[in-house]
Amino acid sequence: MKKLFLGNEAVARGLYEAGCRVVSSYPGTPSTEVTEFAATYDEMFSEWAPNEKVAMEVAFGASVAGARSFCAMKHVGLNVAADPLFTASYTGVNAGMVILVADDPGMHSSQNEQDSRHYAMGAKIMMLEPSDSAECLDYAKRAFELSEKFDTPVILRVTTRVAHSRSAAETADRVDNGLKEYTKNPQKYVMVPANAKGKHVIVEQRILDQVAYCEKEAVENGLNKVEYNSKKIGVIASGICYQYAKEALGENASYLKLGCVYPLPVDLIKNFAAECEKVYVLEELDDYLETHCRKNGIEVIGKEAFTLQGEYSQSLIAKVILGEEKACLKTDVNIVPRPPVLCAGCPHRGLFYALKQLKVTVSGDIGCYTLGASQPLGMIDTVLCMGASVSALHGRNLADSANAKKSVAVIGDSTFIHSGVTGLINIAYNATDSVVIILDNSITGMTGHQQNPTTGYNIKGEPAAAVSLEKLAAAVGINTVIVVDPYNLEETKNGIQQALEAEGPAVVISRRPCALLKTVKHNPPLKVNKDKCKSCKMCMKIGCPAISMKDGKAQIDFTQCLGCNVCSQLCKFGAIE
Amino acid sequence: MNKSIMIVGVGGQGTLLASRILGSALLDCGYDVKVSEVHGMSQRGGSVVTYVRWGEKVASPIIEKGEADIILAFEQLEAARWIEYLKPDGKIIVNTQQIDPMPVVMGAAEYPAGVIEALKATGADVQAIDALPLAVEAGTSKAVNVILIGAMAKSMDLDKEIWIKALKESVPPKFLELNLKAFDSGYDA
């Protein structure tokens, strides 16, 4: 059957058809939907793990036990999982093991633009890169076959435009060959120096074998593809850049499309380049393919004509290679920017307003609440990576202990479990007067509502064990734990104040479910009584997208307002009803 | 010849549903289709855009400046933001609803006046629709997206039944009647 698949949905379908049995992931845009769709197939055990490192280790264990296994993560998630990655390369697999990594050129929803192809090269692990949904499905299946053929995990790399585009793909039935037998083999699976030395030799030989495969067999089976049209222009590309090139250049160019981006063939590229007059390497982010070409003495045009930043497109390629630009319409309308904002009714808003009143320095983290950095709240001082709010606050307070009572960390429930808890243990153990605020909105919000170990539900929405944040904080040695409701501004401000004044480290749990959760009941929208409104704009200090000024008076958009009552607590004239 | 439609709006307005319905309707007609969406951070009240492209064989899933045959804009300012992406002889369907972006809410900028006139002055074919009252009339302010899908359907050369089928496949059964009503209301607007 042919249907439109989101790239990530097609990967999940490929897992299903390949007989994959265990899927473990941590959500992260643009990778999240793979695991959400995987969870719709009952034949695969799917789960949200606390973080990417755990997810990859789960997949490793399942592979050794004999089940085809999978884990998915965004590019920065692969940093978290880099430890198991580099050594799983040495152990290899029993049943096939596939790792999806989703890069985000252009940073649609990420804190950096790193290029995960370097991980394939660094860890010496084969990497495939699909360019549309049909290939997402096909390459997921090939990845399992190659994993077993070469006794290695295989990485499937997608970028945002492949992960989040829909295109047609054909489905097939699931083939499940059952659990593969596990045989105890310490030389293979116990990575102590004596065994790892032997395995490293095998890994280097494996790469040579894979290069030979990429030169010949991969061309025969269509993974690496040569298409000759006009030979005036030659294009070497993989993934979405191949599609952009086809759109821009059509039959005016010849193409070498690399489905496998690590390891790379040499002769295949040399022979293709020799046939073409001018050869362009089209790749987003780093000059990865280009460097390989140059290292092997192949003359190509790459980053000197394009860019290391952001996304490529058909128009960029047409402009650089053909010198063509499309005519477009212009207006003189002043286009006011529209940055993302905390939603109307978001429980984080009240918390950030309370922090603003307390004039504290805020060590921030990754999630919806990163938007607390935006104006008019502007209450985040640093954002680095998942979990860093907690550990960096400890560092700040070690450096400037006199001001420890004037700084806090903010971290979401899911991010806290991901990697904030280790930082909290450090705070308790190494004793700084740090105040950590856990923004418990009962869900993983930014990536679109995934359950996590604190919510009490698993990926299928079935009841599950729930971490008690209060007990966890107490268990690691935090003696002051205060719970506040961020819809109540006074209570929230007092709770944080109390934590700052307490002796030793403290945890504040700001608890209120995400307003977008279907289970959350909303109050009727609020209205401004125009007679009582004195136009003081106090209600606008919280940056709620439902509130604006019209004809000199505040007004509330009834389509957006969820009746959270945070703004009405700011109005001294009782004008918000 | 491939065709391209851009759907632009504010995160939370339901632009993704519109692109999905359009995508399945086009696939049903036997076209090769690609739809590109943006998820994540920008969905939180930011400017959002989805691309739908179809034809005999489509390579790129995205649309660049000067390439869209139709732009369906869920909000005035967003229509102006993306007008450069329209072909000079293209059509733009714009919902006249205004949603203030944060710089306007904060008083750091003013919402631009005369957007519809400015769009018309570019020479583009502009159809302005006040979709919010039509949606409220159909039963809920949330049906703005389906009103606009109806308006877009009118501008395209596809059988109405194909749209109805795609709509049926994309909305929960209990809201079908309301959505069909909203679709018709947009189609006839």
How many contacts (CB atoms, under 8 Å) link A and B?
194
| Spatial distance between the Cα atoms of A490 and A486, rounded to a whole number of angstroms | 9
Please judge whether A375 and B106 are an interchain contact, meaning their C-beta atoms are less than 8 angstroms apart: yes
**CB interface of A with B, residues 407-436, below 8 Å:** none
Which among A4, A333, A340 has CB closest to B115? Answer: A333
What is the least distance, in Å, from the CA of A564 to any CA of chain B?
17
User: What CA dihedral angle connects B56, B59, B62 and B63, to 10 degrees?
Assistant: -60
- H/E stretch holding B75: none
Chain B (34-63) residues lying within 8 Å, Cβ to Cβ, of chain A: 34-47, 58-62
Q: How many domains does chain B have?
A: 1
Q: Can you say how many angstroms the Cα of residue A319 is from the centroid of all Cα atoms in its chain?
A: 31
Distances (CA, A) of A337 to A280, A370, A506, A507: 35, 18, 39, 37
User: Are the beta carbons of B120 and B94 closer than 8 angstroms?
Assistant: no
Compute the nearest-CA separation of B103 from chain A (Å).
7
Cβ pair A165:B36 closer than 8 A: yes
A404 three-class SS: helix
Q: Looking at A206-273, which runs of residues are DSSP E strands?
A: 224-227, 233-237, 254-258, 260-262
**CATH code of the domain containing B133:** 3.40.920.10
Contact with chain B for residue A376, Cβ under 8 A: yes
Asked if the Cβ–Cβ distance from B41 to A336 is below 8 Å, we say no
Distances (CA, A) of A228 to A21, A216, A235, A254, A300: 40, 17, 10, 5, 17
Selected for mutation to probe chain A from B64, B87, B140, B175 (highest A CB count within 10 Å) is: B64
Q: Do B60 and A314 touch (CB under 8 A)?
A: yes
Q: Give the best residue of A246, A336, A556 to mutate against chain B (max B CB count within 10 A).
A: A336
ipTM of the complex: 0.94
Establish if B100 touches chain A: CB-CB under 8 angstroms: yes
Q: Is A548 on the interface with B (CB under 8 A)?
A: yes
Q: State the smallest CA–CA distance between residue B104 and chain A in angstroms.
A: 8
Compute the nearest-CA separation of A283 from chain B (Å).
Answer: 15
Q: Locate B176 and state its tokens.
A: 């079908």
Closest residue in B to A538 (Cα) is B106
- Residue A141 neighbours by CB under 8 Å, 6+ apart: A14, A17, A18
Q: Supply the range of the domain harboring residue B13.
A: 3-188
How close does chain B come to A27, measured CA to CA in Å? 11
Structure tokens at A452: 């996590």
Distance CA A292, CA A356 (A): 51
Look at A29 and B41 and tell me if their CB atoms are within 8 Å: yes
Name the residue among A168, A339, A544 with its Cβ closest to that of B46. A339
* Interchain contact, A243 vs B20, CB within 8 Å: no
- Does A257 reach chain B within 8 Å, measured CB to CB? no
DSSP state of A108: S
Task: Output the tens digit of pLDDT for each of chain A's 577 residues.
Answer: 788 999 999 999 999 999 999 999 999 999 999 999 999 999 999 999 999 999 999 999 999 999 999 999 999 999 999 999 999 999 999 999 999 999 999 999 999 999 999 999 999 999 999 999 999 999 999 999 999 999 999 999 999 999 999 999 999 999 998 999 999 999 999 999 999 999 999 999 999 999 999 999 999 999 999 999 999 999 999 999 999 999 999 999 999 999 999 999 999 999 999 999 999 999 999 999 999 999 999 999 999 999 999 999 999 999 999 999 999 999 999 999 999 899 999 999 999 999 999 999 999 999 999 999 999 999 999 999 999 999 999 999 999 999 999 999 999 999 999 999 999 999 999 999 999 999 999 999 999 999 999 999 999 999 999 999 999 999 999 999 999 999 999 999 999 999 999 999 999 999 999 999 999 999 999 999 999 999 999 999 999 999 998 889 999 999 889 999 999 999 999 999 9
Residue of A nearest to B143 (CA): A559
Inform me whether the C-beta atom of residue A536 falls under 8 Å from chain B C-beta atoms. Answer: no
Find the closest chain A residue to B120 by CA distance.
A331
